[in-house]
Amino acid sequence: NNPPYNAGAFRFELTFSPNHPFEPPCATLRTPIYHPSVDREGRVCQPLTSHGHWEPATRAIQVLQDLLLQLDSPDPRRLLRPDVARELQERPEEFRRRAEEHTRRHAEPRPEP
């Protein structure tokens, strides 16, 4: 919902293990994104779904809400791409410009409300 990502739509995939809910799902972003918490393969740094933080009572909607919050508000401490996190901290305008351009090139059109 917030710049620089609000100009497009992004696809997520949640994969559940046969041991769910005792093991966390794996969240993958299928749409390329320029973000410090998402690597080039679409893996997301999400503490909520790490084995150390996972609670079996956590619902899939909570995982998705956490992902959306994380994408809307990049946290340079949750990182998989140190170069992008450094740019966000040191050159925020350059980060925003690159993220907006990447969104224009790779994201899908947003559905009408």
Q: Domain extents for the chain?
A: 12-106
Asked if 107 and 86 touch (Cβ cutoff 8 Å), the reply is: no
pLDDT tens, 45-86? 988 898 889 999 999 999 999 998 988 888 877 899 999 999
Decide if 26 is catalytic: no
Whole-model pTM: value is 0.89
Using one digit for the tens of pLDDT, what is the confidence trace for 27-37? 999 999 999 99
Catalytic residue among 33, 45, 84, 85: 45
Is domain 12-106 given the CATH code 3.10.110.10 in the classification? yes
Distance CA 21, CA 34 (A): 31
